[in-house]
Amino acid sequence: MAGMNDLAARLRALPSFPEDMPGLAPDAVPEDPAELFLAWLEDAIAAGVRQPHAMTFQTLAEDGSPVGRTLILKDLDERGLHVSTHRTSRKGEQLAADPRAAMTFFWRESGRQVQVGGTVAALDEETSQADWSARPSYEGSPNPDWQVYALRPAWYEFTQSRLDRKHVRIGYRRGADGRWSHDRVTTPAG
Ligand SMILES: Cc1cc2nc3c(=O)[nH]c(=O)nc-3n(C[C@H](O)[C@H](O)[C@H](O)COP(=O)(O)O)c2cc1C
pLDDT of 189 strictly over 60:
yes
When pLDDT is cut at 50, 70 and 90, the band that residue 115 belongs to is very high
Among 72, 74, 84, which is best to mutate for testing ligand 1, by the most ligand atoms less than 8 A from CB? 72
pLDDT at 3 over 90: no
Q: How far is the CA of 60 from the centre of ligand 1 (A)?
A: 16
What value does the mean pLDDT take over residues 110-130? 97
Q: Give the pLDDT mean for 144-171.
A: 97
Q: What is the mean pLDDT of residues 141-153?
A: 97
The best mutation among 70, 87, 89, 149 to test binding of ligand 1, ranked by most ligand atoms within 8 Å of the C-beta, falls on 70
Residue bearing the CA closest to ligand 1, atom 6:
71
Q: 21-65, pLDDT tens digit by residue?
A: 999 999 999 999 999 999 999 999 999 999 999 999 999 999 999
Identify the residue with better confidence: 18 or 87.
87
Q: Has residue 176 got a pLDDT over 80?
A: yes
Cα 123 to Cα 130: distance, rounded to the nearest angstrom: 11
Which string of b and e fits 108-141 if b means at least 16 CB within 10 Å? ebbbbbbbbbbebebbeeebbbebbeeeeeeeee
- Give the helix ranges, DSSP H, for the chain: 7-13, 33-46, 90-97, 125-133
Contact (Cβ atoms closer than 8 angstroms) between residue 92 and residue 86: yes
CA of 73 to the centre of ligand 1 (A): 11
Strand duo 146-160 + 168-174: pairing: antiparallel
Cβ-contact 61, 67 below 8 angstroms: yes
Q: Specify the DSSP class assigned to residue 19.
A: S
Q: What is the pLDDT of residue 190?
A: 81
For the chain, state the CA radius of gyration.
Answer: 19
pLDDT value, residue 2: 58
Closest residue by CA, ligand 1 atom 21: 85
Read off the pTM.
0.96
30-184: CATH topology:
Pnp Oxidase; Chain A (2.30.110)
Ligand 1: list residues with CB < 6 Å: 51, 54, 69-72, 83-85, 89-91
State the closest ligand 1 atom to the C-alpha of 72, by its place in the atom list counted from 1: 8
- pLDDT at residue 1, as a whole number: 57
